[in-house]
Structure 1
Amino acid sequence: MTTGDADIKIRILSAAKKLFAENGFDKTTVRQICEEAGANVALVSYHFGGKENMFYALFDYYFPNNQIAELDPMQLDPVEGVRLIVREVTNFRYSDYQLINIIQQEVIMNTDRIEKIRKHVMPMWGKLRYWLKEGREQGLFQFNSLDNTLFSIIGTLLFHRNSQYWAILHEEERSSKEAIVEDLTLFILGGLYYRGE
C-alpha cells in the first residue's frame, strides 16, 4: 500500500467514525462518508470491501485494546489491575468520544455488529473480573455478587458525564481527566471496601 493509499484509507475511516458517531451506522451512507473524506465512493469497496467491513476496520484501527488485552492478569495485583482499568477506560473515553458513541449506539440497538465490538472490549472486562475475584479471595475486596460488582464498575466507568443532558446538575468546574481518574478510582476502591493506600 502506498503512502497515498494509506492516507486516503485513514481519511475514510476518520470520516466514517465521525458520521457513525453523529448519525449511527444505518443512517450514514457510503456517499456521505466519501464526501466527508474527499474520496471516491469506489475506494470504500477497494480498501474495505463495503460499509460493514469499514465499520469493523474502525475498531481494528482506533480501539486501544493491545495494551490491556496482551497483559497477563497475574502480572498485577488486583488493586493495581483495577487502577489500570479505571485509568485506561477513562483515558479512552476522553480521547475518542466518537468511538465511544458508536459503541454505545450499537450496544443499545443490540445490532449484529456488537459481536465485533465484543472481540475488542471483552478481554479488558474479563481481566477486571479476574482482578475482582482475586482481590476478594485475597481479602483485599469485599462484595457479595461478582457479577453485580463487575457490572456496577463497568457502568460507573462508561457513564457519559459530559453530555448536555446532565449540564443542569453540574455545580463545579469541569474536572481534568486526571482528577476524574482519581475520583473514579477512589469511588470504585471504596465500593470494594479496599482499606489499603
Structure 2
Amino acid sequence: MTTGDADIKVRILLAAKKLFAQYGFERTTVRQICEEAGANVALVSYHFGGKENMFGALFEQFFPNDQIAGVDPSLSPAEGVKLIIREVTRFRYSDRQLINIIQQEIIMNTDRIKKIRKHVMPMWKLLRHWLKEGEEQGMFHFRSLDTALMSVVGTLLFHRHTEYWAILLEEEHPSLETTIEDLTAFIMGGLHFKEQ
C-alpha cells in the first residue's frame, strides 16, 4: 500500500468514526462517509470490502490494542486496577467518538458488539483477574466478584459528558488528572481497598 493509499484509508476511517459516533452505524451511509473524507465511494470496497468491515477496521486503527497486549498481568491487584482506571479514563478523554460508538452498539445490542468484544474484552478480563486476586489476598472486600466488576466497569464507562446530565452538574468539566484521581479514590474506596 502506498502512502497515498494509507492516507485515504485513514481519512475514510476518521470520517466513519465521526459519523458513526454522531448518527450511529445504521443511519450513516457509505456515501456520507466518502463525502466527509473527500474520497471516491469505490475506495470503501477497495480498502475495506464494505461498511461492516470498515466498522471492524476502526478498532484495529484507533483502539489501543498493542498497549493492552503489553500490560503485565502479574502487577499487584491494586496497581492493576489503578492502571485500568487511568488508561480507560485517558482513552475516554482522547477518543470520545469511539467511546460513543461502543456505547451505542452495546445499548442497541447489535451483532457488531462481537467485533468490539474482540478488542475490549482482554482489558476487562485483566480487571476481573486483578479484582479476584485482590479479594483472595484480602486487599479488596466485596460479596460478589461479578457485581464488583460491573460496578467498576459502569463507573469507568458511564457517559458523563452528555447534555442529558448537564442540568444536574454544577462543576465545569474536570481535567483528566483530576478525573483519574477522583475515579481512583471512588473505586478503590468501593472495593474497601486495604493497603498490605
The bucket for the TM-score relative to the shorter chain is over 0.9
Aligned equivalent of 1:37:
37
Aligned equivalent of 2:146:
147
Distance 2:34 2:7 in 1: 13
Aligned equivalent of 1:16:
16
- The answer to whether the 8 A contact 1:65-1:124 is kept is no
Q: CA RMSD in A?
A: 1.1
Distance 1:68 1:77 in 2: 16
Aligned equivalent of 1:26:
26
Give the Å deviation of 1:52. Answer: 0.5
Give the Å deviation of 1:171. Answer: 1.6
Give the Å deviation of 1:72. Answer: 3.4
Aligned equivalent of 1:164:
163
2:175 equivalent to 1:192: no
2:95 equivalent to 1:96: yes
In structure 2, runs of 5+ residues without a counterpart are none
Percent of aligned positions that are identical = 74
- What SS class does the counterpart of residue 88 from structure 1 fall into? helix
Aligned equivalent of 1:106:
105
- What SS class does the counterpart of residue 140 from structure 2 fall into? coil
Aligned equivalent of 2:67:
67
2:13 equivalent to 1:5: no
In structure 1, runs of 5+ residues without a counterpart are none
Deviations 1:53-106 (A, max 9, x none): 1111000000012212332311x1000000000001000111000000100111
- The answer to whether the 8 A contact 2:139-2:193 is kept is yes
- What SS class does the counterpart of residue 58 from structure 1 fall into? helix
When structure 1 is superposed on structure 2, of 157-166 and 141-150 the one drifting more is: 157-166
- Residue 28 of structure 1 aligns with an amino acid whose one-letter code is T
Deviations 1:158-179 (A, max 9, x none): 0111111111111223210100
Distance 2:36 2:173 in 1: 31
- The answer to whether the 8 A contact 2:13-2:54 is kept is yes
- What SS class does the counterpart of residue 93 from structure 2 fall into? helix
2:133 equivalent to 1:134: yes
Deviations 1:142-197 (A, max 9, x none): 00100000000000000111111111111223210100000000000001111329
TM-score, with length taken from structure 2: 0.97
